[in-house]
Amino acid sequence: MHFVAGLLNIDKTLQVPVYLQIANGIICHIRQGTLKPASALPSSRTLALSLKVHRNTVVAAYDELYAQSWVDVYPQKGIFIAANLPEVAPRPIADSPQKIAYPEKTFFEVCDNKLSHINLYSPIAGNSIAFNEGFPDTRLAPVELMLREYRRFANYHFTSKYLLYGPEQGSENLRAELARFLGETRGLHVTPEHILITKGAQMAIYLAAQLLLGKNDTVIAADPGYCGANEAFVQTGANLELVPVDEQGINLDAVEEICKKKKVKMLYVIPHHHQPTTVTLCSERRMRLLELAMKYRFAIIEDDYDYDFHYTSSPILPLASADYYGSVIYIGSFCKTIAPGIRIGFMIAPPNLISQANRLRRIIDRQGEHLLEEAMANLLKNGDITRHLKKANKLYHERRDMFCNLLTQQIGEHVNFKIPDGGFAIWMKYLNGIKPKDVAEKAAAMGLAVSAGKDYYYDKAYESQHIRLGFASMNFKEMEQATDLLAKAVKKLV
């Protein structure tokens, strides 16, 4: 009878009630095969004395076991492990069976290489200073304005409806305000029916790829390009055709050559501040690309992830604003407008595609965050987002100029770059045989994280002479410190 008591470890300092610790401990030993089906358990009085707890505590534990069908109770005989439980081969008794570590590997087969891993946003260890790939400064995010909207909802009598299931397509208010905002800023004359709200641009890219691509379909993308999109395309079983990028954007002669030889299903393009090269697709190529899409009947995914951040002149209107045939799927996000953690993106397309994307999105993720979407709708309606963008644009413009001056002053003879028209990063080339990976190693030793030139090209073995340096998330002091360390790393290799 004292055998069971010896198997149980009771800790009265835990938040878990003692009776549940007893019940869970017995369940663990049944599962481990230590306690066999139909074997007797000690009486509540005996077990209580052994464990030094009140008898009612053990009675509550046995009641719990009975309620969960782990034990059978026979009047005048006692309490027994349920006889209908399967026999389990005994395993070694752990010190605390309630805390058995979860397995490190599955018992069934899993292909470890089915999905490749690319570190798009690597965390920076310790107190290192980091040049990221081009993120906004989260310290500028209008958090107080967003909290203001949440507080407003807390005082509304109808707030509870936003805690229930809502439209899979996204908040009706947000889609209406977004349609107005896109019409004013991008010349996109759309209705809420043309809009699907997603959790960032990446979800929108994935949905479009899954809907339109199948095994052995051909999709065209730029190289170097955005690896997150390429991965989404490859996972559909499609074949990726790569075209080069120059100062005017993707090479459309190369695109047409592919179209002449193969049936192209989709083309992916970042027309503003191409990732990673920062170039903007020129007006002539934009017009020609739309004509090619009509001629060869392929879809265009237009990823306009940071359209709102342009410093030299007004940004060129999106391809989608001149799309008369329904060829363009326009994708954008507020993750750069506000902060990466604010996961609101959108897909703009004709309603027949939006309807299908809506059904697929429901399978993956029933809906977005309704309260967040309603708060964003109010920020758009009140003009808060427009005011934030004007303020942020001015500051990022100053940071771009400051950073370019620092690079020119400190390592101008060892690097080459073009001042970007907008966006959050600079595409810089090392000169004089300096290799990005060598600079990254030297910089890391001094506490600076900087790109080693990997993952820009589809061929991961290709050693790029370029790196992408994000400047927007650094204030002037941080920028000076980071550039100083980068300069020291470069000069160690000269």
Residue 370: predicted pLDDT: 78
Contact between 325 and 352 (Cβ < 8 Å): no
The two structure tokens encoding residue 41: 């358990």
Low pLDDT (below 70) residues in the chain: 1-3, 91-102, 113-127, 154-164, 368
List, in order of start, the domains of the chain with CATH numbers: 2-99 (1.10.10.10), 129-138+387-491 (3.90.1150.10), 159-382 (3.40.640.10)
Q: What is the pTM of this model?
A: 0.83
Residue 60: predicted pLDDT: 94
Question: DSSP per residue over 162-205, as a string?
Answer: GGS---TT--HHHHHHHHHHHHHHH-----GGGEEEESHHHHHH
Residue 61: predicted pLDDT: 92
Per-residue pLDDT tens digits for 157-205: 656 666 667 788 988 999 999 999 999 988 999 999 999 999 989 999 9
Contact between 332 and 178 (Cβ < 8 Å): no
How many angstroms separate the CA atoms of 469 and 159, rounded?
Answer: 43
**Residue that the structure tokens 């940004």 belong to:** 315
Q: How many residues are listed for the chain in this entry?
A: 494
